[in-house]
Amino acid sequence: MTARNPRSALKRTRWIVVKVGTSTLTRDGELRAAKVTDLVRQISTLADRGRRVVVVSSGAVAVGSHQLGWSHQGRSIRQKQAAAAVGQIGLLELYRRRFARRDRQIAQVLLTRVGLEDRERFLNARHTLLELLRLGVTPIVNENDTVATDEIRFGDNDNLSATIVNLIGAELLVLLTDVDGFYEEKPKSGQARPKLVSQIDRITPAVRRAALGSDSAYGRGGMATKLEAAETAARSGASTVICNGATRDVLIRVADGEDLGTLMLPRKRLSSRKHWLAFTARSRGQLVLDAGAISAVVERG
C-alpha cells in the first residue's frame, strides 16, 4: 500500500482489526451501552459494504470489578483474573444483543500470547477466525485473562490486536482510544493541545521517545504500546490508525480514508510465518553465526 495518498488507500482495505479500549467502553466500571450500540452500528455498516471486521475488545476487568462491588480494578493479578472472568460475560452479552438487533452473530474468541507461540495453535486460531469471517460472524477477541498472568497488564490488547492482524492478514488496524491520536508533545491540562500528528511514515527512536512522555491522558495502554502494536502491524504490511473512539462515525470515516487520528504507514511485509517468528513466537537459546551465515540471513533473508 504505497499509494501516493496513503489515506485514500485505506478505502480499499477489506480486512480490518478494530481494538477498543476499556476507557472507550466503560465509565466507572459500568458498560456504556450507547458506545457499544454505536460501535456495532459502524461495524455493521462496514460489513454491509463488504469489509470484514474483527473486534479486539477490552473491558472485562473493569466491568467485572464493578459487578463484584469493588472500588478498584483488582489489587492483585488473581483479583484481576477473577474480575475478568466475571466481566467478560456481561461485555459479550451486550455485544451479542446489539449485533442481534442487526441480525448479525458474534463469536467469543479468547486468546493468549503464550498459546499463539505454538505454531499449530496459531494456525488453528487463524482457521477459526477465517471461518467465522467467511460465515459472516463478527469475532470479538479478548485475552484469556484466566491463564494470562503477565499479559493482563494494561496495553496488552494493543499487542494482541497486532497479532490478530498477522493472523488473518488484515490490511488495517484501528486502535480506538480516548485521545485524538499521537501528539507532537505530551498534552498538558489547562494548556492548548499540541499539534496532532496526522501521519507517521516510520516509527523512529525519536517518535518512541515522544510516546514515552505520555500518561493516562493517552488511555490505559499508553501511547508506547500503541506504537509497538503499529510497528508489529506495519511489518505485517498493514496500516494502523490511532484515533478517538468518541469521534462521530470514526471507524467508517477512517475506513473511508478521511484524515482522522494518526496514520502509521505499513512497511515491507514479512511473510506471515516470519512475522510469527519475529513477533509472536518466543526465542530461546543462542544462535552462533559465522560470517557466511550472517550474510545469508541478513542479506538474503
Binding site for ligand GLU (CB under 6 A): 21-22, 58-62, 84, 142-143, 145, 154-157, 220-221
Specify whether the CB–CB gap between 29 and 87 falls below 8 A.
Answer: no
- For the record, the C-alpha cell of 104 comes out as 448479525
Query: Shortest distance, CB of residue 145 to ligand GLU, whole angstroms?
Result: 5
CB of 13 or CB of 23, closer to ligand GLU = 23
Specify whether the CB–CB gap between 207 and 184 falls below 8 A.
Answer: no
CB of 59 or CB of 261, closer to ligand GLU = 59
Query: Shortest distance, CB of residue 150 to ligand GLU, whole angstroms?
Result: 12
Tell me the CA distances in angstroms from 62 to 30, 31, 85, 244, 249, one per residue in order: 8, 9, 11, 20, 25
Query: Shortest distance, CB of residue 179 to ligand GLU, whole angstroms?
Result: 15
CB of 83 or CB of 255, closer to ligand GLU = 83
Query: Shortest distance, CB of residue 62 to ligand GLU, whole angstroms?
Result: 6
- For the record, the C-alpha cell of 285 comes out as 537459546
**145 Cβ contact list (under 8 Å, min separation 6):** 60, 61, 80, 81, 84, 85, 88, 151, 152
Query: Shortest distance, CB of residue 146 to ligand GLU, whole angstroms?
Result: 10
CB of 77 or CB of 196, closer to ligand GLU = 77
CB of 228 or CB of 258, closer to ligand GLU = 228
- Alpha-carbon Rg of the chain, whole angstroms? 19
Specify whether the CB–CB gap between 84 and 58 falls below 8 A.
Answer: no
Residue with cell 486468546: 111
**Phi and psi (nearest 5°) for 239?**
-85, 155
CB of 145 or CB of 228, closer to ligand GLU = 145
Query: Shortest distance, CB of residue 156 to ligand GLU, whole angstroms?
Result: 4
CB of 31 or CB of 265, closer to ligand GLU = 31
Query: Sign of the C-alpha dihedral, residues 236, 216, 248, 40?
Result: positive
Residue with cell 498493514: 238
Q: Say how far apart CA 63 and CA 19 lie, in whole Å.
A: 17
Helix (H, G, I), strand (E, B) or coil at 250: helix
Query: Shortest distance, CB of residue 220 to ligand GLU, whole angstroms?
Result: 5
